[in-house]
Amino acid sequence: MLKTEKVYQITVPTPFPVGDVHMYLLKGDVLTLIDAGVNTDEAWETLHYQLKELGYDVKDIEQIILTHHHPDHTGLVSRLEHVQQIYAHPLVEKWLTRDQEYFDRYFQFFEDYYQAWGVPEHFQDVLKTMKKNRHLAGEGALTGYLQEHDTLPGHEGWTVIETPGHAQSHLSFYHSYNHDLLAGDHMLYHISSNPLLEPPMDKGQPRPKPMLQYRESMQKMLSYEVNQVYPGHGPLFHKVDYLIKERINKQEKRAEKVFSFLADGPLTPFEVCQKLFPRKFESQFELTLSETMAQLDYLESTGRVKVERNGNRLTYMRVKQ
């Protein structure tokens, strides 16, 4: 019989709009920290304090396993210098090691697509903010990569489920005996996860379509019996099937809204974004544009919408039937 392991939640503040982020401490053959918060003094102090409450010291952590590469999940890797074993999806390596070739490609990707999607120049400052926030993310190197069906090292009951969508690097961890799920940001109870735009992991691959991946990852989760969900943000929850169906429903409704915007003719993604988020697109540009592209990619995949290129500009329109 597989051992059940107690999962301890550790919660630290972040400077991001999402608020607090959770990490989880797993005691198996080794003591593992799942995710690593954000690289700030507040998060570091809070981690010390909460570990102490649980009867541990920071030095007791033997291993780190990351659900994805976002800065609020990797930050303290930089400060947990004594930890030798760090595992995650291969893409996380590019972020932890500050892979310059990948970063150049990352920013070039957004510059090119912003132009193609009709984004005015002053919004390109968003890219500068993204560069500025880099110090909040962790720096280090991975010991090994994790992929679908792998067992977490030192934790024989936990297996890896690849769940791309919110991030290209996203992994969830499932306990095959008690059916608990360490879900990272794949599924949150209080808000829907944003399928964020990212360049392909490897040069020359086509642009990932995060919403299509996200839908697939959610459908995949339906085939698992899930008990307790331990998410990256917000409350713990059960009833994952119900939540998944609700999220898919809500997304398809939003896609209908985008489809209705295209009734009067073709629009650029930026124009769709303004219509879809009239009050939020300026202050939360990165998120709202990702959400807009998510719906356009989805509609395109259903065959009701097509994309046309004029020069270097891309416009989306209804397919006439």
Residues within the interface to Zn ion (CB under 5 A): 70, 185
Q: Taking CA 133 as the corner, what is the angle to CA 182 and CA 215, rounded to the nearest 5 degrees?
A: 40
| Shortest Å, Cβ 315 to Zn ion | 30
| Shortest Å, Cβ 169 to Zn ion | 10
Looking at beta carbons only, is 185 or 297 nearer to Zn ion? 185
| Shortest Å, Cβ 219 to Zn ion | 20
Tokens describing residue 202: 């490897």
Looking at beta carbons only, is 70 or 79 nearer to Zn ion? 70
Q: Identify the sign of the CA torsion 287, 318, 209, 180.
A: positive
Can you point out the beta strands (E) in the chain? 7-12, 21-27, 31-34, 63-65, 85-88, 144-145, 151-152, 155-162, 171-175, 181-184, 229-231, 305-310, 313-318
Distance CA 43, CA 39 (A): 7
Q: How many CA atoms lie within 13 A of 273 on its CB side?
A: 25
| Shortest Å, Cβ 73 to Zn ion | 6
Looking at beta carbons only, is 70 or 215 nearer to Zn ion? 70
Looking at beta carbons only, is 193 or 315 nearer to Zn ion? 193
Give strand pairing partners of 107.
none
Q: How many CA atoms lie within 13 A of 45 on its CB side?
A: 5
Distance CA 262, CA 318 (A): 6
Looking at beta carbons only, is 69 or 315 nearer to Zn ion? 69
Looking at beta carbons only, is 22 or 209 nearer to Zn ion? 22
| Shortest Å, Cβ 70 to Zn ion | 4
| Shortest Å, Cβ 67 to Zn ion | 8
- CB of 42 closer than 8 Å to CB of 63: no
